[in-house]
Structure 1
Amino acid sequence: MFPKPRQDLVPNTAEFERLPLVKVTGFREYDARWRYPEEINLLGMEAVGLGLTTLMRERGVPVRIVVGHDFRSYSSAIKAALTTGMLAGGAEVHDIGLALSPMAYFAQFELKVEGVAMVTASHNDNGWTGIKMGIDRPLTFSPDDMTALKEIVMNAKFAPYHEGARYIYVPDLAERYMADLLKRPKLMRPLKVVVSCGNGTAGAFAPHVLAEIGCTVIPLNCELDHNFPAHNPNPEDLGMLNATRDAVLEHKADLALVFDGDGDRCGVVDNTGEAIFADKVGVMLARDIAAQNPNAHFVTDVKSTGLFQTDPVLKQHGAKTVLWKTGHSYIKRYSHETGALVGFEKSGHFFFNPPLGRGYDDGLVSALAVLDMLDRNPGKTLAELKDALPRTWQSPTMSPHCADEVKYDVVDRVVKHFQDVAAKGGTLAGQKIRELITVNGIRIVLDDGTWGLVRASSNKPELVVVVESPTSEENMRAIFAEIDAELAKQPEVGEYNQKI
């Protein structure tokens, strides 16, 4: 019988090598993320693998699982431990080796396998590990799935031993994945593209794919290096965006495509070196897609620009956009369930549903959509397409530290504060409150359309703050000052990772 995981084990002790360590807070809303080895050890990962097979049996899903790992120094060892647990649960494991997250999702379709367990901490700093899981392609875990897995693992409620375990190594999945992306016409328009990968896993794949479709590729930090010596591979990180801007200007490139650590997100820098936040890239793509698909239905997250609701071009084409919870699993699932053509997240997760894609988030699919948009507008630069949008002033995603154990309570207190202000007819930043959207934290919308969001991060011990104004930078900063002042009253809230 596999032992019940502990939460109090210390590395470099006998107990740490003999017993599983699994910190319960690593089971987040829809992904699993832990500090390694402080919050999980290899035996703990075996427990998670065994728990996943138990959950699949309980749900009546055939226990066939794709596994892959990103390019961190410890990810291969983590995957091996996870695989050991799956094999102990009688799983048929298809190991695709070093991979991007979308490559693992693609493998579910290509190999006709029900489950996926991709070992990655995505854009998190070194020292983090995690797993993106799903048992119903193209969807990944919902909060209910994650809660069920947590209960199985933390209480050691594993299914009895099952025979039939099988390990299959798939040596050519990367080539099959790239070939699938390239089953399309080459670009008609010659484009010089900086491909910025932050030394993450995408560097092994993105330059090749983009060169093969006809781009002149300028690689930036595409050599794989799990120390991430230049900056963290995160398209929302200002350090990564600034380095990419400099490369665009130096090489007089048409644009840059910026990939995160596991390749499921794509950021964009235009020909002037200006980073276009992913939600505005989404509006540009939505315009392009809606022109070819009248009355298209889109989904976007609560962090995203209000232009999805107000843009006159989208209205002209009859496009409708619904706000939903932030998080790749939430937007992926809601887009799938509602029949949306595309789901967009401000973080850069885009979900192209049939016939445009298979419904999962793939940074390279997003990159190809941006390039196709430029191909269909041969006389315009990316900056000109961006400048054709109605102007808004918006912040990057800002994340003050807040411990996992308390972050949801803090957000509840903040929500109540702003609800009380609205109920009493109070004002914020000199304006009345027009609407409070509480589908995920709180999005406070003022009379002129200026808005600010506070929510708990789904995968790190942080809060998330985003603000935007369609009228002025002054109003954008004013709503942030109101939110920042309220957060300053909460003793559990710490320093921001970046701040306007």
Structure 2
Amino acid sequence: MFPKPQAKLTPNTLAFESLPLVKPTGFREYDARWMFPDGINLMGVQALGLGIGTLVHEMGVRPEIVTGHDFRGYSSSIKMALVAGMMAAGLKVRDIGLALSPMAYFGQFALDCPCVAMVTASHNDNGWTGVKMGANRPMTFGPEEMGQLRDIVLGGNFKLRGGGSYEFVPDFPARYLADLADRPKIRRKLKVVAACGNGTAGAFAPALLEAIGCEVVSLDCELDHTFPRYNPNPEDMAMLHAIAEAVRESGADVGLGFDGDGDRCGVIDNEGQEIFADKIGVMLARDLSRLHPNARFVVDVKSTGLFASDPELQAQGAVTDYWKTGHSYIKRRVNELGALAGFEKSGHFFFNAPIGRGYDDGLLTAIAVVEMLDRNPDSTMADLYRALPKTWGTPTMSPKCADEVKYGVVDRVIGRIHGMQAAGELLAGQRIADLVTVNGVRVTAEDGTWGLVRASSNKPELVVVVESPVSEERMRAMFKAVDGILRENTEVGAYNQTI
């Protein structure tokens, strides 16, 4: 009988070493994230493994699972605690060792395992840990499965079973890289900055880019789990600025930045201009729709309005579906609609057949960018960017807001903006033309300027994004208006970055 998890325990006590600690708020919409060891201890991780195994059996899925871990000082120990719990619940575990998240997803196909549990805190700061899980490749758990898992774990409703086993799979990264590199080498001579923020991708991304024919300038690719320069997150301006400087100094054709677990990719053009990932998505959609006319794409609600309004995409018959932010949501929507690709502003890109297998892979995204340049030999990355209709947008900005209250704050913001629309009030000096509430609220003014507020799915934060097709002044006016509504809620704190 495994003990029922506790929501709170004091470290360095008998209880902390004798009972599982699992903070309830660690169960997010589509994965799990905790501060370690304040939010979860090693016994709590065992309980999570027991819960995963119990849920897999309840779902009637073949009980075989791939696992791996990212490069943090504690990730290996967390993975082995998770493995102990999964084995006790009757899962046959295939351990691929140090890995990227997409490497674990690839393992579901290459090793014929229906399930995955990848130990990673992704782009979160040091101190965080987490697990990305799935039992129906290429999808990962969504809110329904995460709710079931939460109830099993917090209720201590584990079912211990025999039949569990463990196998370490040697040299698996080589299989993954060989699969990605199994394509014609590029014809164009391209110099590429590969930036990894000292995270896990540093062990794999430069070698892959060299294998497809690039000259690689490595930036912060030495593995160092203290992340000494900046957090490996291609949405953070600190990382983007470092890549831009390296591109200018080296004369590179493009800069590519990878997050801590390698499922996202950020891009800098040859002039050192930071291109937000949603604009990269538009550029790739243009390129791919020439090869695949009438293609369908899925994008998240944080993304630019160009996916719907771009004349070139319209001319190619491309259709775009705006959907909920989150790798699990977009991945599932891409699969449901049979879309060619899905793009998130965060840099999660999903390529379906014939390009990929439907999961998010930052290294495959990098290949797609390089091959786009290869197919346009007379254009630089900056040329392709300038060819897009001009818009003015913000980075993703995240004001602090506690997990326990953030959804309530968003509900109040939605109600406030609905009330303004119903009363005919102006927002940023214009009438409210449209509201989309599929994920938070995306409010659009008459001139097409829009602002988004939603709750972060994996951190105690809100998410704010603003874009205008008119001017920087209109973008700033919308941000001021949206931020003013947010500041009516005292629970909202300071931004991580702002304009």
Q: Does the residue aligned with 2:49 lie in a helix, a strand or coil? A: helix
1:234 maps to 2:257: no
CA-to-aligned-CA distance 1:308-332 (integer Å, 9 cap, x gap): 0000000000000010000000000
Shift of 1:333: 0.3
CA-to-aligned-CA distance 1:280-338 (integer Å, 9 cap, x gap): 00000000000111111000000000000000000000000010000000000011011
CA-to-aligned-CA distance 1:426-468 (integer Å, 9 cap, x gap): 1111111110000000000111100000000000000000000
CA distance in 2, matches of 1:300, 1:68: 28
CA-to-aligned-CA distance 1:388-420 (integer Å, 9 cap, x gap): 000000000000000000000000000000000
Q: Does the residue aligned with 2:242 lie in a helix, a strand or coil? A: helix
Aligned to 1:121: 121
Aligned to 1:323: 322
- One-letter code aligned to 1:268: V
CA distance in 2, matches of 1:91, 1:309: 44
1:465 maps to 2:464: yes
Aligned to 2:428: 429
Shift of 1:91: 1.0
Gaps of 5+ in 2: none
User: Structure 2 length as normaliser, TM-score?
Assistant: 1.00
Aligned to 1:356: 355
Aligned to 1:395: 394
CA-to-aligned-CA distance 1:20-68 (integer Å, 9 cap, x gap): 0000000000110000000000000000000001001111011111010
Q: Percent identity?
A: 65
- One-letter code aligned to 1:290: S
Alignment of 1:162-311 (within 5 A): 162-311=161-310
- One-letter code aligned to 1:326: T
Alignment of 1:446-485 (within 5 A): 446-485=445-484
1:332 maps to 2:327: no
Aligned to 2:137: 137
Aligned to 2:23: 23
- One-letter code aligned to 1:486: I
Aligned to 1:14: 14
CA distance in 1, matches of 2:283, 2:144: 34
Aligned to 1:374: 373
CA distance in 1, matches of 2:175, 2:8: 43
- One-letter code aligned to 1:101: S
Alignment of 1:78-93 (within 5 A): 78-93=78-93
Shift of 1:10: 1.2
Shift of 1:163: 1.3
CA distance in 2, matches of 1:38, 1:135: 28
CA distance in 1, matches of 2:316, 2:490: 48
CA distance in 2, matches of 1:90, 1:203: 34
CA-to-aligned-CA distance 1:247-284 (integer Å, 9 cap, x gap): 00100111101000000000000000011000000000
Q: Does the residue aligned with 1:116 lie in a helix, a strand or coil? A: strand
Task: State the number of aligned residues.
Answer: 499
User: Structure 1 length as normaliser, TM-score?
Assistant: 0.99
Gaps of 5+ in 1: none
Alignment of 1:65-80 (within 5 A): 65-80=65-80
CA distance in 1, matches of 2:443, 2:486: 14
1:151 maps to 2:151: yes
CA distance in 1, matches of 2:339, 2:49: 33
Shift of 1:11: 1.1
CA-to-aligned-CA distance 1:71-122 (integer Å, 9 cap, x gap): 0000000000000001111110000000000000000000000110000000
Q: Does the residue aligned with 2:283 lie in a helix, a strand or coil? A: helix
Aligned to 2:110: 110
CA-to-aligned-CA distance 1:453-494 (integer Å, 9 cap, x gap): 000000000000000000000000001001111111101100
Q: Does the residue aligned with 2:443 lie in a helix, a strand or coil? A: strand
CA distance in 2, matches of 1:9, 1:394: 44
Please list every run of at least 4 consecutive aligned residues from structure 1 whose deviation after the TM superposition is greater than 4 angstroms. Answer: none
Alignment of 1:430-445 (within 5 A): 430-445=429-444
- One-letter code aligned to 1:200: G
